[in-house]
């Protein structure tokens, strides 16, 4: 498979600028910084944030790079992805943007709510569906070749597993 690189909406620059402005407005320390944000730093930061966002779907993983001051790179194996949630809050809706939240198996619910968070991917719902379909296609569990179809073969495999487990148990008992 060739790599599929996600494209990001140009409107995500305006979203980042507006979100930063709201954060500054909402904090006492941030209010004096608003002129710096509006007169140049906010435009630079928003453009740089968009320029540094990269999301690539490969045959084995979803690779994400992002961040201006705090940069992060994640490599999320496709088989670990359990779901990708598409979110659109009021500010995102205003800019016709979506956030993709990538959820993985084994992530902690108390600490990290999602493994990856991407704002502003073009055709976000289609990209989400494409990643999930590709994950399902690549999953060994989805392959009919890995599971015997007839009950007699399934029984033989289970008996072999049972015998192997008994040998392991005997081996462990002898060691103890």
∠23-84-135 over CA atoms, to 5°?
145
Residue 137's pLDDT is: 81
Summarised one tens digit per residue, pLDDT across range 62-120 is 999 999 999 999 999 998 899 999 999 999 999 999 999 999 887 555 545 467 889 99
Here the tokens at position 53 are: 């966002």
Residue 147's pLDDT is: 58
- Give the closest residue to 8 by CA, choosing from 59, 58, 64: 64
CA distance 122 to 126: 9
Tally the C-alpha atoms within 13 A of residue 170's C-alpha that lie toward its C-beta.
6
Question: Are 131 and 81 in contact, with CB atoms under 8 Å apart?
Answer: yes
CA distance 130 to 124: 10
pTM tops 0.85, yes or no = no
Residue 171's pLDDT is: 86
Secondary structure of residue 1 in the 3-state scheme: coil
Residue 134's pLDDT is: 86
Residue 59's pLDDT is: 87
DSSP 89-104: -HHHHHTT--EEEEEE
Kindly tell me if the per-residue pLDDT of 51 is higher than 50: yes
Neighbours of 46 (CB within 10 A): 21
DSSP 25-88: HTSTTTGGGHHHIIIIIHHHHHHHHHHH-EEEE-SSEEEEEE-SSS-EEEEEEGGGEEEEEEE-
Helices 11-25 and 42-52, packing angle to 10 deg: 130
Residue 109's pLDDT is: 55
Summarised one tens digit per residue, pLDDT across range 125-161 is 999 999 998 888 876 554 445 556 788 888 888 888 9
Region of residue 67 (phi > 0: left; psi between -120 and 50: alpha; otherwise: beta): left
């Amino acid at each position: 498979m060739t790599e599929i690189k996600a494209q990001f909406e140009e409107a995500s620059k305006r979203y980042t600028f507006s979100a930063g402005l709201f954060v500054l407005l909402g904090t006492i320390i941030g209010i004096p910084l608003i002129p710096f944000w509006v007169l140049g730093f906010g435009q630079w930061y928003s453009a740089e944030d968009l320029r540094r966002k990269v999301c690539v779907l490969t045959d084995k993983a979803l690779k994400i790079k992002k961040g201006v001051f705090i940069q992060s790179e994640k490599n999320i194996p496709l088989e670990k992805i359990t779901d990708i949630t598409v979110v659109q809050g009021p500010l995102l809706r205003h800019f016709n943007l979506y956030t993709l939240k990538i959820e993985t198996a084994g992530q902690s619910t108390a600490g990290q709510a999602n493994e990856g968070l991407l704002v502003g991917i073009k055709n976000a719902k289609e990209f989400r569906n494409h990643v999930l379909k590709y994950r399902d296609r690549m999953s060994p569990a989805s392959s009919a070749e890995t599971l015997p179809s007839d009950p007699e073969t399934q029984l033989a495999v289970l008996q072999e597993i049972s015998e192997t487990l008994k040998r392991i148990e005997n081996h462990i008992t002898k060691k103890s």
